[in-house]
Amino acid sequence: MPANAHVIDVGYENFQAEVLEGSRAQPVLLDFWASWCEPCKKLTPILEKLAADYNGGFRLAKVDIDRWPELAQAFGVQSVPTVVLIKQGQIADGFMGLQPEKLIRELLARQGVKPPRDLMAAAREAQAGGDLEGAVALVREHLENSPEDVPARAKLAHLLALLGDVEGSELELSQLTEEELTHEWAMAARKLLDSRGKVIDLAPLEAELERRPDSIPAQLALGRALIESGAHERGMELLFAAAQRDLRFDDSAPRKALLEAFAQLGDENPLTLSYRRRLSVLLCS
């Protein structure tokens, strides 16, 4: 039985539609096998794993030569397993016998068969590199193909909130149910949006820290307020300065403040990535 959605059993009746015509939209790896063939039993899990890994990069079509000998004859199959790559209705490549996964991947690469791009992973990389606009574009592209992906929509709302696009972020959040709004990215987006509506008077906090520059409570208070007001970089600097002074102060308040900031900014935010590493070093010292 097929192991996943990208694996199909084919015979004479559906060969034209699934293999020849289907290969014009998606490459087809045609596997001729038999139940009595020991190498086939070893090759099958390799091919099915690749079909799952490539996630639509190609389709694996399996032909039982005992049930469909005419198909094996048409392709000149003399022994099994025999695997043929079909592209645009034509034979592009293939191999005979049991082959290692590495060789099959090389064959696929040689013919330009690649896994589909992981747009969400690319978005995370873009955000980690500080390219929020690029991350937004990638998540939007992903949602065009997967509009029901709740974490992706919550992520888009958070990215837009980070960019200051209040209307866009609110629009994305409005498409989530009450339960879906509890997703960590949706909650982080909401916190960012809510903080933009606040008028935070930083002057007294600045004055208190200037008066007591070594005060952990003063560093934490101003650091939190700066994060809330959107001055994320300086806010992180102050929170980490407090952690460096005494990580366990007031039931680990500096560590908790940093973790709250990480959650608000998101795991892929460059500031989060930087200060999370620095906090890890501090925790281990």
pLDDT in tens, 271-283: 998 999 999 999 8
Instruction: Report the CATH number at residue 24.
Output: 3.40.30.10
Q: Which run of H or of E encompasses 140?
A: helix 132-145
Q: In this model, does residue 218 exceed pLDDT 70? A: yes
Sequence-separated (6 or more) residues with CB below 8 Å from residue 156 = 136, 139, 140, 143, 172
Q: Are 215 and 191 in the same domain?
A: no
Is residue 73 in some structural domain? yes
**Average pLDDT over the chain, rounded to an integer:** 92
Q: How much of the chain exceeds pLDDT 90, in percent? A: 76
Q: Last residue of some domain: 196, 223, 238? A: 196
Q: Which of 45, 79, 110 is the last residue of a domain?
A: 110
Residue 2 belongs to a domain: no
Contacts of 199 (CB under 8 A, 6+ apart): none
For the chain, the domain total comes to 3
Residue 155 lies in a domain: yes
Per the DSSP assignment, residues forming a β-bridge with 146 are none
Domain boundary among the residues 91, 110, 129 is at 110
| Beta-strand runs (E) in 160-279 | none
User: Does residue 100 share a domain with residue 12?
Assistant: yes
Q: Are residues 212 and 176 in the same domain?
A: no
**Domain presence at residue 225:** yes
Evaluate if residue 214 carries a pLDDT over 80: yes
Confidence (pLDDT) at 267: 80
CA dist 23 and 25 (Å) reads 5
The model's pLDDT over 97-122, given as tens digits with 9 standing for 90+, comes to: 999 999 999 999 999 998 878 889 89
Residue 1's pLDDT is: 43
**Per-residue confidence (pLDDT) for residue 269, from 0 to 100:** 83
pLDDT at 285 over 50: yes
Task: Report the alpha-carbon distance of residue 33 to residue 25 in Å, rounded.
Answer: 24
Given a cut of 90, whether residue 201 has pLDDT beyond it is no
Instruction: Give the domain range for residue 135.
Output: 119-196
SS (H, E, C) 67-85: CCHHHHHHCCCCCCCEEEE
CA distance 239 to 271: 12
Digit-coded pLDDT (tens) for 1-57: 444 789 999 999 999 999 999 999 999 999 999 999 999 999 999 999 999 888 889
Strand partners, 95: 83
Does residue 1 belong to any structural domain of this protein?
Answer: no
Q: Are 180 and 212 within one domain?
A: no
List, edge to edge, every strand of the sheet that includes 28-33: 7-9, 59-64, 28-33, 82-87, 90-96
Do 20 and 106 fall into the same domain? yes
CB-based burial label for 40 (10 Å; 0-12, 13-18, 19+): buried
Same domain, 213 and 261: yes
With 70 as the cut, is the pLDDT of residue 140 above it?
yes
Query: Looking at residues 193-198, what average pLDDT do you find?
Result: 74
Per-residue b/e over 4-27, b at no fewer than 16 CB within 10 Å? eebbbebeeeebeebbeebbeeeb
Structure tokens at 86: 């079909």
Claim to verify: residue 179 and residue 268 sit in the same structural domain = no
Instruction: Decide if pLDDT at 252 tops 50.
Output: yes
Q: Which two tokens stand for residue 272?
A: 């989060």
What positions carry a catalytic annotation? 37, 40
Peptide bond into 81 cis (omega under 30): yes
Which amino acid is residue 40, in one-letter code? C
The DSSP bridge partners found for residue 170 are none
